Structure 1
Amino acid sequence: MTNTELQEFTASVRALLTKHAGSAAVRAAMDTDLGYDPALWRLLCEQIGVAALAIPEEHGGVGASLVESLVVVGELGRVLAGVPMLGSAVLGVQAVLLSGDAAACDRLLPEVAEGTRTLAVCWAGESGWDETGVQESGGTLTGTARYVLDGHTADTLIVLTSTGSFEVAATAAGVARRVVPTMDPTRKLSEITFTAAEAHRLGTGDPAPAITRLREIAWAAVAAEQVGAAARCLEMTVEYTKSRVQFGRPIGSFQALKHRMADMYVLLESAESASAAATLAVSENAATAAEDVWVARLHCSEALNTIVAETVQLHGGIAITWEHDAQLFFKRAHGNAQLFGTPRRPVALTS
């Protein structure tokens, strides 16, 4: 897409979410077993085609790049909607594509593009994403994958192991799924246990490069989501300080608060730049992707944590009540800071 087309696309996504994913709708959905509004997901898939964006045309998709997909992730971050965009349409799709298994792509991705099938990537072990939690032996899987996005509702599980990636039906024998308690009520994470579960191997290549690439995509996507959440936090703060009156004037007119909001704005702008660089780098699989993603992962996490903390401070006591959305953004910020682990410093940056 050209810059103009990308701006128009972003505006379309934001308009749909503004209409159908307001605070009340998100809060109602997060209390359901599904964790999101299926009607919202259908609208996003049917009217905008979000699930098909990064799927090649030969597999039933739009054939766009990761840039467009991560724009959607960023817009979802503004409203905290828990639809299966990040877990399925980004990570799930990329895991299948990276396997290099053309037959699996033909079988799985057209339905994902339509929004009728969702995927979940089973990856992290007990100590996090630096090790896989499931082991393969003789075509069966044993072990437990933790912190699985959309794992409790996915139709198909893509399991990453040290020997390769595997496809397993979510309802297959030997598969047990449970939702685990988390700090962030707007994002459900699951624990999936495999007990000698039969699995179909995807591709035959070395899984290590694919896992490294998938981790970079995951961090770039989280950075995009963090920027969207930070932008909304700043908007909420500015709106509140314009309407909250003390000593006969809006508190936003006080110079000390103006300075704090100006600092929030500068931090947001730098985070947007870092996120944009990482998104473009992973989309083009550039040589600088590891460094760009490292910068975005750390800076965007710090930016959102700082901005949301200021949001709470400048709203006062109301921000820590259940009724105000600031506490939801606070919880998302701290959850996202740990999601997919923390990157090590790239070798190229240590010299």
Structure 2
Amino acid sequence: MSQISDEDRQALRDGFARYLEAEADEKKLRSAIANDRGYDEAIWQQMAEMGLLGIAIAEDSGGVGGGAIDVALVMEEIGKKLLPVPFLSTCVVAADMISRFGSEAIQQDLLPKIAAGELVISTGGSGDFVPLSDHDLSLSAKSSAADWTLNGQVSFVSHAGNADYHLLGLQEDGVDSAYLVKASDAVSKDRLITNDPAQRLFKLHLSDARAIKLEVLDADGIGQVRMRAIAALAAEQAGAMRAIFEITMDYLRTRYQFGRPIGSFQAIKHMAAELLVEVESATSAALAAAKALDANSPDAAKFVSLAAFTCKDAFRTVSAQAIQMHGGIAYTQEHIAHLYWRRARAGLPLFGSSDAHREQYLKSREAA
């Protein structure tokens, strides 16, 4: 349950939106994509100053005590600007995992640093809390007294390039385990080629890398982490599709053909109307999922599944149609529409395919 009032929530969102409008334009986005870090550190630190990096962290751990709805509103604004910051991996997944399963000492050490923007945590491996699981990973954990060491390789680790810790999951015989590995000489990495230039995925090579094991990973707790991450991703996709829809509508109003705006043509009007329905439906689904989680609704899993496949599919449709409505210019990567399309494609496999979520949703409806 969120500890943030409606008034403060709206103020946080409005302030963040104004800041991004002024400081996160397309030029900044492309510059961030091109640098080694993959995002603008100044924006990341400003998010910390605004309290956004600790939005999902309890007040007694240095955060602001927000809930799923607060995370969703932040993620919507991140999505609108395609902001390539490690918010999902660090401030949603890792923060939640540490809050639920980390020892008191670990929580006191790491959570305030996350909220202050002093710590970036990548996520990878295998398990329900991992955004993009590596089903072919060759990773093993070995205990020695109170210490754990990891050996092997794991791919598709998000934002591992400049991460201070790596949160790696292992799933053996249906049982989840998770380890925090500090960036060190025992961990080397190779950047992977991705369809979305802003998506930073790495392959890690671990050789006797010391690790902290998060204890007692109960199924209900892991399920909550997964659902909250999926709801956050859905909100990001809803924000992104709204942004590219509005960019496209502006183009239709200003691009003239045969002496009139192309947006006045009936066929284009029908396409635009259908896309608006997609955008509004996805936004409603994402917010409904976040509200269900905050209310501890028994139907939360159903709402999350609905938001997952609705937002994945709608973002893919809206971004693809945006390219069609822009014409040939949008087929080039130099046009912003191309970046939205790539982000939509990159998000399809995260936390499971839309088909898998649709199947889960239908099963929950049948069981009701």
TM-score category of the 2 structures, normalised to the smaller one = over 0.9
CA distance in 2, matches of 1:285, 1:221: 16
| Residues 127 and 331 of structure 1, relative CA distance in 2, 3 Å threshold | closer
| Residues 128 and 70 of structure 1, relative CA distance in 2, 3 Å threshold | closer
Alignment pair present for 1:321 and 2:332 = yes
1:24 counterpart (24, 27, 33): 27
8 Å CA contact 2:161, 2:191 repeated in 1: yes
Residue 88 of structure 1 corresponds to 90
* Shift of residue 120, structure 1, vs aligned partner: 1.6
Identical positions, percent: 34
Structure 2 matches for 1:49-88, cutoff 5 A? 49-88=51-90
8 Å CA contact 2:124, 2:132 repeated in 1: no
* Shift of residue 207, structure 1, vs aligned partner: 4.6
Report the more deviating stretch, 331-340 or 282-291. 282-291
Structure 2 matches for 1:12-161, cutoff 5 A? 12-46=15-49, 48-124=50-126, 129=133, 133=137, 134-138=139-143, 139-161=148-170
8 Å CA contact 2:131, 2:351 repeated in 1: no
* Shift of residue 131, structure 1, vs aligned partner: 5.5
| Residues 209 and 193 of structure 1, relative CA distance in 2, 3 Å threshold | farther
CA distance in 2, matches of 1:128, 1:8: 33
Alignment pair present for 1:200 and 2:204 = no
Matched to 1:87, the amino acid is S
Residue 178 of structure 2 corresponds to 165
| Residues 307 and 179 of structure 1, relative CA distance in 2, 3 Å threshold | same
| Residues 187 and 128 of structure 1, relative CA distance in 2, 3 Å threshold | closer
Report the more deviating stretch, 243-252 or 131-140. 131-140
8 Å CA contact 2:26, 2:336 repeated in 1: yes
Alignment pair present for 1:337 and 2:341 = no
Alignment pair present for 1:6 and 2:9 = yes
Instruction: Return the TM-score normalized by structure 1.
Output: 0.93
Three-state SS of the structure 2 residue aligned to 1:199 is strand
Three-state SS of the structure 1 residue aligned to 2:320 is helix
8 Å CA contact 1:165, 1:207 repeated in 2: no
> How big is each residue's C-alpha offset from its partner over 1:204-240, in whole Å with a ceiling of 9 and x where there is no partner?
x135443333222221111111101100111011100
CA distance in 2, matches of 1:144, 1:194: 6
2:242 counterpart (225, 231, 244): 231
* Shift of residue 100, structure 1, vs aligned partner: 4.6
8 Å CA contact 1:312, 1:319 repeated in 2: yes
CA distance in 2, matches of 1:132, 1:13: 39
Matched to 1:41, the amino acid is W
Residue 285 of structure 2 corresponds to 274
8 Å CA contact 2:120, 2:164 repeated in 1: yes
Alignment pair present for 1:348 and 2:364 = yes
8 Å CA contact 1:132, 1:161 repeated in 2: no
> How big is each residue's C-alpha offset from its partner over 1:77-130, in whole Å with a ceiling of 9 and x where there is no partner?
111111121111111111111215222110111111110111122333899538
Matched to 1:337, the amino acid is L
* Shift of residue 70, structure 1, vs aligned partner: 2.3
8 Å CA contact 1:282, 1:289 repeated in 2: yes
Three-state SS of the structure 1 residue aligned to 2:119 is coil
- How big is the alpha-carbon RMSD for the aligned residues of Structure 1 and Structure 2? 2.2
Three-state SS of the structure 1 residue aligned to 2:30 is helix
8 Å CA contact 1:168, 1:199 repeated in 2: yes
| Residues 128 and 237 of structure 1, relative CA distance in 2, 3 Å threshold | closer
| Residues 145 and 70 of structure 1, relative CA distance in 2, 3 Å threshold | farther
| Residues 289 and 144 of structure 1, relative CA distance in 2, 3 Å threshold | farther
| Residues 101 and 299 of structure 1, relative CA distance in 2, 3 Å threshold | same
Three-state SS of the structure 1 residue aligned to 2:302 is helix
| Residues 34 and 127 of structure 1, relative CA distance in 2, 3 Å threshold | closer
CA distance in 2, matches of 1:224, 1:323: 26
8 Å CA contact 1:129, 1:341 repeated in 2: no
CA distance in 2, matches of 1:221, 1:257: 32
Three-state SS of the structure 1 residue aligned to 2:206 is strand
Three-state SS of the structure 2 residue aligned to 1:129 is coil
* Shift of residue 61, structure 1, vs aligned partner: 1.2
Unaligned runs of 5+ in 1: none
* Shift of residue 333, structure 1, vs aligned partner: 0.3
Count of aligned pairs between the two proteins: 348
Three-state SS of the structure 2 residue aligned to 1:108 is helix
